[in-house]
Structure 1
Amino acid sequence: MPDYAITRDRVEEYFDRTATTAWARLTTDAKVSRIRQTVRAGRDRMRATMLARLPEDLTGMRVLDAGCGTGAMTVELAQRGAQVLAVDISPQLVRIAQDRLPDTLRGNVRFHAGDMTDEAHGAFDFVLAMDSMIYYTAPDIAAILARMAPRTDQAIVFTLAPRTALLMAFWGLGKLFPRSDRSPVMVPHALPALRAHVGSGLDRVARISSGFYISECLEYRP
């Protein structure tokens, strides 16, 4: 996945060197701007939407939090009894997630800084990938799912940016900046076009719109 590797490395650099402090603040109860409040609220709603796709009791199940960020999803999965592997490409974010994890849940969670698709992670009952695939093209997403699916027993629940007029406008503006001067740009997707790459087993769950946060929850069953 050569294109995937290039984008993955840019995402790592962005979150490790540029956005760590802002991301850490956004994912707490700290005061933020009104725009970021809408993003925070949207992310909270999306996390709840994704978790609703899994059983309330995850005791005995192994779950991959693919792109764990600062660990909010990891905590909720562990509270349900899951054995969680929390992976993020950014070592800085992984350290924040480790620091925020309650001591009572440490026996349920293992952290790893690296590639979420690494086959060395082993097999899982579920994979959750919240906003960690939003920077990739349809062929890359198909390759990511193809790599994870043989090791996922039940479902891969993930988010993408839907192909709306607003997001397409942002995407177009982002492409005007020199690549070295801008953050990784999320790639909007239309579900029919994505299905052409991924194949059967891909379904839309819900779309969350909250100010500048517009995201779509999808589910892929191998």
Structure 2
Amino acid sequence: MADGTRIYSERPKTSAAYATTRDRVETYFDSTATKTWERLTSDAPVSGIRATVRAGRDEMRALIVSSLPDDLRGARILDAGCGTGALAFELAARGAQVVGVDISPQLVEIARKRTPDAVARRVTFSDGDMLDPALGHFDHIVAMDSLIYYTADDIARILGGIAPRLSGKMIFTVAPRTPLLMAFWRLGKLAPRRDRSPVMIPHNPTAIAAKLPVGRLREIRRVKSGFYFSAALEFSA
């Protein structure tokens, strides 16, 4: 069991690009996409395209949960980029003490309102940077679709910096580097800056692994559902 009271003073080193992207993502989800995201992560009817994205996210969430031990009693888990809380609730239902953090205060507020009574004592939510060392030490970390906007260099720095606070493994997702996704990425960069949502960056997992200062990285599996295409990766120190 991890020591949840342990405090660290040094934040993992990232680039100026990391901070810029983080701020852009926060602004996007708090001012533009909150209602859309709230609906997408609910049971409300959505369009055909969004239905495939919802199905893909449901499959990915199940894959992440299945990649961790069945019995999580006594484990302390960080849900980095927790959004509206669905993954945190599933982990808490397996007995984990879950700390959910997201840079969007509005999404965190939705997560708090949706917290089932059955897991309320095992989940806490806060808005802020998932790299904040004051969050402490964790047995496992999950980050579903919360690192998809960052460069391989910053992802490697994040993993290396967080390794001393991780006892078990970190399961996170990236957009896999395929010809189709690369075409969408290039088209997104052509849009006027004021009209852009944060653009996910496709990655080759082996390229991220090559940049790691410590630890090991492996691909678990990819999930493809309509416009949702994501790869689950496992990092261990």
TM-score by length of 2: 0.92
Q: Secondary structure at the match of 1:153?
A: coil
What CA distance in whole angstroms lies between the structure 2 residues aligned with 1:19 and 1:84? 25
What CA distance in whole angstroms lies between the structure 2 residues aligned with 1:126 and 1:162? 23
Aligned mate of 2:227, from 188, 212, 220: 212
1:56 aligns with 2:78: no
Aligned mate of 1:118, from 132, 136, 140: 132
Deviation at 1:193, TM superposition (A): 1.5
Runs of 4+ in 1 over 3 A off after TM superposition: none
Q: Deviations over 1:75-95 (max 9, x none)?
A: 101101100000000000000
Partner of 2:218: 203
Deviation at 1:56, TM superposition (A): 1.3
Deviation at 1:178, TM superposition (A): 2.1
What CA distance in whole angstroms lies between the structure 1 residues aligned with 2:111 and 2:161? 25
What does 1:139-158 align with in structure 2 at a 5 Å threshold? Answer: 139-158=153-172
What CA distance in whole angstroms lies between the structure 2 residues aligned with 1:178 and 1:131? 24
What CA distance in whole angstroms lies between the structure 2 residues aligned with 1:180 and 1:5? 18
Partner of 2:98: 84
What CA distance in whole angstroms lies between the structure 2 residues aligned with 1:198 and 1:171? 24
One-letter amino acid matched to 1:41:
A
Deviation at 1:179, TM superposition (A): 2.0
Q: Deviations over 1:4-59 (max 9, x none)?
A: 11100000000000000000000111110110010000000000101111111111
Partner of 1:28: 42
What CA distance in whole angstroms lies between the structure 1 residues aligned with 2:158 and 2:115? 28
Partner of 1:14: 28
TM-score by length of 1: 0.98
> Which range is displaced more, 139-148 or 65-74?
139-148
Partner of 1:162: 176
Partner of 1:107: 121
Deviation at 1:104, TM superposition (A): 2.3
Identity %: 60
What CA distance in whole angstroms lies between the structure 2 residues aligned with 1:140 and 1:156? 16
What CA distance in whole angstroms lies between the structure 1 residues aligned with 2:236 and 2:36? 34
Partner of 2:7: none
What CA distance in whole angstroms lies between the structure 1 residues aligned with 2:19 and 2:105? 17
Deviation at 1:144, TM superposition (A): 1.0
Partner of 2:198: 184
One-letter amino acid matched to 1:140:
D
What CA distance in whole angstroms lies between the structure 2 residues aligned with 1:180 and 1:124? 38
What CA distance in whole angstroms lies between the structure 2 residues aligned with 1:191 and 1:12? 25
One-letter amino acid matched to 1:202:
L
1:175 aligns with 2:186: no
> Which range is displaced more, 185-194 or 93-102?
185-194
Q: Deviations over 1:115-168 (max 9, x none)?
A: 001110000000000000000000110111112111010001000000011111
- Give the number of equivalent residue pairs: 222
What CA distance in whole angstroms lies between the structure 2 residues aligned with 1:128 and 1:135? 16
One-letter amino acid matched to 1:101:
T
